Structure 1
Amino acid sequence: MARVVMLRDQEPRCQIEEIDANDLPERSVSVDIDYSDLNYKDALAVTGKGKIVRDYPFVPGIDFAGTVRESRSDHYAAGDKVILTGWGVGERHWGGFAETMNVDADWLVPCPDDLSTRDAMLLGTAGLTAMLSVIQLEQAGLAAGGKVLVTGATGGVGSWAVQMLAQLGYDVEAVTGKAEQHHWLEELGASQIVPRSELDGDTRPLEKGRWDAAVDTVGGQMLAGVLARMNYQGRVAAVGLAGGTDLPTTVMPFILRGVSLLGVESVMAPFEQRQAAWQRLASLPRDLFTRMQTEEIGFDQVVEQAEAMLAGKTYGRVLINPQQR
């Protein structure tokens, strides 16, 4: 039997079910899931407030880490630690809110030896996306000691980006609308807190330059405000669309200041890039993991936490432990 969080198309609604393992999708690798985590897309799926899931019944969860139970692939054997992010898991294919899941071998990345499956999901898709953003900025020429802005800094990607950039020696400024989280962001490494209101309103195409680079996790009007304030040849790694898909700006930041807009999408990253990013994530100092605000929940708290996340009442990371009852 496999215990799963199953979405039903009647609102939709969630319920915890035990199903026969033979009813899981037939794939080449069976994984016993140690941890998944709650992402923004998961919250949209679970609450029915976003068009994330199209077919029902469905198991959400866009990533997970665990141990291979059975494998018909030459690349993995029983007992291997693995991580899954992307590939439409939790959107087009059944995902990580389960005790066991069957997946294609191509979807997996080996979990580095010195990274536990719990820490892998403490990072999760958010940590992977943050690291891919850092790598993109560095490859685009971000110099050591540069001033970097991170928007949506209390979210999963944003909070990891703040820590990683600060640990690498960059001067990090963090954007948030949550005054009560200023001290926590400073503990993560932010040198200054920028109120969300400074960037999320009407703005001219060009404002006074303030940052050499940015990781934007919001999009929409926020991204337009960031682009207008980049220094000459600034670089912006854009990773989120929570603020909308429209970009109310002009070509002026790109032509008159030579600003580069770098799209970062962990789902599309090739295996080699994802594996290299996970190896680099595994090398992060362990104190970064202990500093991260973390809540560990069981299946029965998923809906409550999803609603809180969409209401902007969560920060840091929410881990899901299938064994917690």
Structure 2
Amino acid sequence: MTHREFKAFVVEERDGTFIREIKSKSTSDLPEGDVLVKVYYSSLNYKDALSATGNKGVTKKYPHTPGIDAVGIVVTSKTDKFKIDDKVIVTSYDLGMNTSGGFGQYISVPEAWVVKLPKNLTMKEAMMFGTAGLTAGISVVRLFETVKPEDGQIAVSGATGGVGSLSVSILRKLGYSIAAITGKETAKAYLENLGAETIVLRKDFEAMDKKPLLRPLYAGGIDTVGGVILENIIKSINAMGVVTCCGNVASPKLDLTVYPFILKGVALIGIDSQNYPLDYRELVWDKLAKDWKPDHLADNCTEITLHELNEKINLMLDGKLKGRTVVNMQS
């Protein structure tokens, strides 16, 4: 096989410090895989930012190329399922964690990690969603199994982040009323434009009464941050309501009684998009490409080049990014 030279965003450890640089690599440097994909777009996620800082809980060995999302065109394939020139999406599993990821212009991955790009979705749109959109979509699927738009308002935490903002957009598309919880006091207009009807400041939501149960406010919730925010969402849910949780940036701990669960029948559902079954992934991607696609998807997205990635990682770590950041890997 002819080896190809390409550019990649590489994180290296030097004397205890983690350095980020764009380097030239070869496809011979990539792991053995069923499918070699030329990456056209990737996207920036919080897990990528952690990997870029040397977080050994995300990435064990360096040098490493992060990027848990990628979309592109198949260059070589050892499987009948994918043919040369197929447009494909690769998200989650070990991509960008301990397997060279989407911040490189080529990736080599197992067949099981790959999903064909739906016909109604462009490559750039796929990365406007990325793992964040997949996570939001799975959360909405699980919520929709029990809670319908007519049942009441849905609380969405971390609403300016990737998963939160896309959850707001998808829920609005489906006719739900949304209460967006955010730590950014300047985000009101942005969140209202996405479709949120109520804006709740994080500091106010965290300061709610510490009682085991609170006044019912919401029919359901999508939590992306954990900690006190998740506790108060659970305590504020209507009887038989559902809350999904997918993040722990605030805290992995919960200080709760069992009362919301045994007195009100509230259900708490964990969302693990990293290893979600392929059939469900294909279902969610199909919905995102069709009736769940927000009308103004691009309004929630900023496109950057590989050379701008380092700056955006720093902004993400400082909590200063809104919406989705798509990386044009061929610019």
Does TM-score exceed 0.5, indicating one fold? Answer: yes
- Once the two structures are TM-superposed, the CA of residue 311 in structure 1 deviates from its matched residue by 0.8
Corresponding position: 1:3 with 2:11: no
Corresponding position: 1:287 with 2:295: yes
Mean Cα deviation higher: 103-112 or 199-208: 199-208
Mean Cα deviation higher: 109-118 or 18-27: 18-27
Which residue among 198, 201, 211 is the counterpart of 2:204? 198
List alignment gaps of at least 5 residues for structure 2: none
Which residue among 62, 72, 93 is the counterpart of 1:87? 93
Does structure 1 conserve the Cα–Cα contact (< 8 Å) formed by 2:149 and 2:177? no
Corresponding position: 1:128 with 2:129: no
SS at match of 1:93: coil
Does structure 2 conserve the Cα–Cα contact (< 8 Å) formed by 1:4 and 1:97? yes
User: CA 1:161–1:256 in structure 2 vs 1: closer, same or farther (change >3 Å)?
Assistant: same
SS at match of 1:179: coil
User: 2:264 maps to what in 1?
Assistant: 257
Tell me the alpha carbon deviations over residues 71-120 of structure 1, each in whole angstroms, 9 at most, x when there is no partner: 11111001101111111111121111011111111110111011111000
Length-normalised TM-score, structure 1: 0.96
When the two chains are superposed, the root-mean-square deviation of aligned CA atoms in Å is 1.3
> Which residues of 2 match residues 1-325 of structure 1 at below 5 A?
1-10=5-14, 11-48=17-54, 51-139=57-145, 141-145=146-150, 146-201=152-207, 203-283=210-290, 284-285=292-293, 287-292=295-300, 294-324=301-331
User: CA 1:143–1:47 in structure 2 vs 1: closer, same or farther (change >3 Å)?
Assistant: same
Extract structure 1 runs of 4+ deviating beyond 3 A.
none
List alignment gaps of at least 5 residues for structure 1: none
- Once the two structures are TM-superposed, the CA of residue 128 in structure 1 deviates from its matched residue by 0.7
Does structure 1 conserve the Cα–Cα contact (< 8 Å) formed by 2:156 and 2:179? yes
The percentage of aligned residue pairs carrying the same residue is: 38
SS at match of 1:262: strand
- Once the two structures are TM-superposed, the CA of residue 125 in structure 1 deviates from its matched residue by 0.5
SS at match of 2:302: strand
How many pairs align?
Answer: 322
- Once the two structures are TM-superposed, the CA of residue 287 in structure 1 deviates from its matched residue by 2.3
- Once the two structures are TM-superposed, the CA of residue 49 in structure 1 deviates from its matched residue by 5.2
Tell me the alpha carbon deviations over residues 188-233 of structure 1, each in whole angstroms, 9 at most, x when there is no partner: 1101101111222473221111000000000111111111111111
Does structure 1 conserve the Cα–Cα contact (< 8 Å) formed by 2:169 and 2:294? no
Q: What code does the residue aligned with 1:252 have? A: Y
Length-normalised TM-score, structure 2: 0.94
- Once the two structures are TM-superposed, the CA of residue 286 in structure 1 deviates from its matched residue by 5.8
User: CA 1:3–1:40 in structure 2 vs 1: closer, same or farther (change >3 Å)?
Assistant: same
SS at match of 1:320: strand
Does structure 2 conserve the Cα–Cα contact (< 8 Å) formed by 1:215 and 1:238? yes
What is the distance in 2 between the residues matched to 1:32 and 1:268? 23
SS at match of 1:8: strand
What is the distance in 2 between the residues matched to 1:288 and 1:133? 20
